[in-house]
Amino acid sequence: MKQIFAFVFFCLLSFFAQAQTTITGTIQDQSNNPLGFANVYIENSFAGTTANADGTFSLETELTGPQVIIADFLGFEQSKTEINIQGTTLQISIVLKEKFNELKAVTVTAGSFEANDKKKAAVLKPLDVVTTAGAMGDIGNALQTFPGTTTVGESGRLFVRGGSSEETQTYIDGMHVPIAYTSGSPNIAVRGRFNPFLFKGTVFNTGGYSAEYGQALSSVLLLQTQGFDSKERIDISLMSIGAGLSGTKVWDRTAVTATLDYTNLSPYFKLAKQRFKVNEAWHSISGALSLRQKTGKSGMLKLYATNSVAQNGLEVFDFYATDNKQDYYTKNDNSFVNLSWMTPLSKRWVLRAGSSYSLDNNDITYGQADLSNEFNELHTKANLTYLYSPKVSVKFGGEYFALKSKRPSYRQRLEINNSAAFAEANIFLSNNFVVKLGLRGEYDDYLQAFQLAPRFSSALKTGKKSQISFAYGQFYQNPQESFLALNSHLKFRKADHYILNYQIEKNKRLLRTEVYYKKYDRLIRYTNPMDSHSYTQDGDGYASGLDVFFRDAKTIKNSKFWLSYSYLLSERLYHDFPEKAAPGFTAKHHASLVYKYWMSSWNSYISGTASFSSPRSYNNPNTNTFNGEKTKAYRSLNLSWSYLPKPNVVVYASVSNVLGFKNSFGYEYAPMPNSAGHFAGHELLPAADRFYFLGCFITLSRKSDLNQVDQLN
């Protein structure tokens, strides 16, 4: 009996031994790196194990036939592998794909400085604009501390990578702002029209920008207004040049902000001597209304409307006037309305639509001459974004521009209608690689021309905190309106952008380096700007260079600073240039250092900005070399101090060009020689060597946590 029992036992043991199968293998990522401690199991069974530290595993099962083995690892997509269990051993190799994560995914940075997303390249906040010494609360001035820009002191506008100021366009909530600067007098710097506290984010594209935007050969400045403000407040501004009042009222789904600002430089000019005679000091009054309305579950309707009236009168240099002095008076009336709406239509579809209207009237007298002009523009746009998957999104839409301008004294009228359609796909091939493909088509009825502009950009992650980006695109822009009014046969101007960028951000430090090449075609040439028959469009040019930007908020306690450097080579054959030469608004070298220090014992924020630009070219008709003369190098050291006697009160003082550097912007020359055959010249100098500013900014609110401290730090 015992022998029979032993025989049966050994038979059963042999059967179960034959039924057990051992499955071994490895688990790796797509780069052949082992994924230690990954989970491995057979679907719909209790057979499973955990991989070793080196990614190897071994599990035993009694199952036979076709099965599915599953592997899981945090941050990677689940893997399902079909197997067929037939023998006692089975060896497999499993490769897991990294799961897409938008928070970890690479982002395209070529050509862009972005200030509304700290994960990318946060460099500006609204109060940063105010506290950057020398910026004087002007967004454009603050951006001139970034690489890719050139300081052109007699203008005050943005000049980007060898492009003139009109090659950079401004957009608010996606809608065009054709008149982004205040009106000015000849060779006197202007300012941006908009208060930096209106915006939550600033994206400065120095090239290679999205297919959604056009009519800019060099760059676009994208400004995003604040979202829904849930805190009621009153803001009071008392300044050495004027005063301002702003109030915000909030309901359940609606927030309204109204502002009123008054500026008058008359008291300042009486204390600070200017190089020109002031007949009527620059003064203005402006009002604005901002509405935020929640729509649906997560939609938002934004309305922004503003109107400003400004006047000034001064003496300007005139070669042919008595004593070379001539009166120049301006009165500017500017209105701007911007309406935008964003709403999800479903889980995958998002709609964005908007419309803006600009009206700008200038009454200008120059001696006895009437130089008045009128301008208005209507811009409408709509686009849809389709979220095909977390990795793929497609945006497409269209826009329409209707522009009218006239200069009554010259009997010049211009009406332009421009239509455009665009499409753009954003494709994450992995967390480490993304491409963006875009195409823009534009038709202009005045030019009777159509153009297709392809755009491409990509980014590759080279480490946990580093990446490289590349961007290419074709960009078109209408000729200047003054040229079109004389010659209606001109066509789009063109520029091709090539940009390569490297960026690394670690421990509150950011380093960006960027090389670029920009090729211009179809630039306008003429021998006489008033003779329409002398116009051609065979001009060309290029701009190439290197931009370096370093920001550090870690190394020095309670401090942050950024350092920027730009190297630029640029030449053009355009306008009345007899040969290819560097334009007068370009400088080979430009550098800025911005330093900010929070002194907690004094509740103070101290800021300093040092800027340098190498000499710019200008043409002296008394010499044989075109554009062969050079200005002085531009140098400036600006200081500012923000003091908080209370959390809701900021006292701000600043001085520009503290050391009093004698900057010069070159010379202008008489259009005709005198009897001795000599062209008279006049040096272009700043209105004053220094500018002083003092202001007090007060925030009143029922909520005690509403203050400026978090914005200063």
Q: Which residue has the higher pLDDT, 109 or 35?
A: 35
Going from the C-alpha of 88 to that of each of 10, 45, 66, 188, the distances in angstroms are 19, 18, 14, 88
Of the listed ranges 85-99, 115-129, 174-188, the one predicted with least confidence: 115-129
Q: Is the pLDDT of residue 461 over 60?
A: yes
Q: How confident is the model at residue 101 (pLDDT cuts 50, 70, 90)?
A: low
Which helix H or strand E contains 280, and what residues bound it? strand 278-295
Work out the percent of the chain whose per-residue pLDDT is above 90: 53
Query: What are the residue ranges spanned by the domains of the chain?
Result: 2-96, 112-712
Q: Is the pLDDT of residue 119 over 90?
A: no
| Collapsed DSSP state (helix, strand, coil) of residue 127 | helix
**What integer is the mean pLDDT of 601-618?**
92
Q: How confident is the model at residue 110 (pLDDT cuts 50, 70, 90)?
A: low
Provide the pairing of β-strand 349-366 with 325-344.
antiparallel
Two tokens, residue 702: 């029922």
Work out the percent of the chain whose per-residue pLDDT is above 70: 90
The pLDDT of residue 13 = 41
**Superfamily grouping for domain 2-96:** Carboxypeptidase-like, regulatory domain (2.60.40.1120)
Buried b (16+ CB within 10 A) or exposed e, 372-407: bbbbbbbbbbebebebeeebebebbbebebbbebbb
Query: How do residues 326-375 score in pLDDT, each as one tens digit?
Result: 999 999 999 999 999 999 998 889 999 999 999 999 999 998 888 899 99
The pLDDT of residue 703 = 64
Query: How do residues 487-519 score in pLDDT, each as one tens digit?
Result: 888 999 999 999 999 999 888 899 999 999 999
Beta bridge partners of 497: 473, 518
Report how far residue 385's alpha carbon sits from residue 348's, in angstroms, rounded to the nearest whole number. Answer: 8
Of the listed ranges 181-190, 412-421, 485-494, 595-604, the one predicted with least confidence: 181-190
Interior angle at CA 478, CA 472 and CA 484, nearest 5: 160
Among 647, 702, 697, 646, CA closest to 230:
702
**What integer is the mean pLDDT of 302-331?**
92
Report how far residue 243's alpha carbon sits from residue 696's, in angstroms, rounded to the nearest whole number. Answer: 9
- The single-letter DSSP state of residue 351 is E
Q: Is the pLDDT of residue 478 over 90?
A: yes
Q: What do you get for the CA distance between the two ends of the chain, in Å? A: 90
Please enumerate in sequence order all residues whose Cβ is within 8 A of that of 81, keeping only pairs 6 or more positions apart, or say none: 68, 69, 70, 71, 92, 94
**Average pLDDT over all residues of the chain:** 86
The pLDDT of residue 123 = 45
Dihedrals phi, psi of 683, to nearest 5 degrees: -75, 140
Two tokens, residue 407: 């200069």
| Collapsed DSSP state (helix, strand, coil) of residue 112 | strand
Q: Which residue has the higher pLDDT, 115 or 602?
A: 602
Query: How do residues 285-299 score in pLDDT, each as one tens digit?
Result: 999 999 999 998 888
CB 650 within 8 A of CB 642: yes
Report how far residue 36's alpha carbon sits from residue 57's, in angstroms, rounded to the nearest whole number. Answer: 9
Q: How confident is the model at residue 472 (pLDDT cuts 50, 70, 90)?
A: very high
Of the listed ranges 109-118, 133-142, 299-308, 329-338, the one predicted with least confidence: 109-118
Two tokens, residue 607: 């800021």
- Give 237-242 contacts, CB < 8 A, sequence gap 24+: 237/261, 237/695, 237/696, 237/697, 237/698, 238/695, 238/696, 238/697, 238/698, 239/693, 239/694, 239/695, 239/696, 240/267, 240/268, 240/692, 240/693, 240/694, 240/695, 241/265, 241/267, 241/268, 241/693
Report how far residue 194's alpha carbon sits from residue 133's, in angstroms, rounded to the nearest whole number. Answer: 18
Report how far residue 594's alpha carbon sits from residue 562's, in angstroms, rounded to the nearest whole number. Answer: 5
Q: Is the pLDDT of residue 198 over 80?
A: no
The DSSP-derived string for 431-478 is TTEEEEEEEEEEEETTTTEEEEEEEEEEEEE-SSSEEEEEEEEEEEEP
Which helix H or strand E contains 126, and what residues bound it? helix 126-131
The DSSP-derived string for 632-671 is PPEEEEEEEEEEEEETTEEEEEEEESTT-------EEE-S
Question: Is it true that domain 112-712 has CATH number 3.30.420.40?
Answer: no
**What integer is the mean pLDDT of 562-581?**
95
Residue 269: how many other CB atoms lie within 10 Å: 17
How far is C-alpha 411 from the chain's CA centre?
37
The pLDDT of residue 352 = 95
Report how far residue 82's alpha carbon sits from residue 439's, in angstroms, rounded to the nearest whole number. Answer: 42
The pLDDT of residue 182 = 87
Report how far residue 360's alpha carbon sits from residue 373's, in angstroms, rounded to the nearest whole number. Answer: 8
- The single-letter DSSP state of residue 406 is E
Beta bridge partners of 317: 325
Report how far residue 266's alpha carbon sits from residue 255's, in angstroms, rounded to the nearest whole number. Answer: 36
Residue type, 42: I
CB 265 within 8 A of CB 342: no
Report how far residue 168's alpha carbon sits from residue 209's, in angstroms, rounded to the nearest whole number. Answer: 11
**What integer is the mean pLDDT of 511-528?**
94
Report how far residue 114's alpha carbon sits from residue 568's, in angstroms, rounded to the nearest whole number. Answer: 22
**What integer is the mean pLDDT of 166-190?**
89
Among 189, 132, 130, 134, CA closest to 638:
134
Q: How confident is the model at residue 132 (pLDDT cuts 50, 70, 90)?
A: confident
Q: Where are the beta strands (DSSP E) in 318-372?
A: 325-344, 349-366, 369-370
Q: How confident is the model at residue 710 (pLDDT cuts 50, 70, 90)?
A: very low
Q: Is the pLDDT of residue 231 over 70?
A: yes
| Collapsed DSSP state (helix, strand, coil) of residue 601 | helix
CB 363 within 8 A of CB 375: no
Q: How confident is the model at residue 255 (pLDDT cuts 50, 70, 90)?
A: very high
Dihedrals phi, psi of 323, to nearest 5 degrees: 60, 20
| Collapsed DSSP state (helix, strand, coil) of residue 190 | coil
pTM for this prediction: 0.83
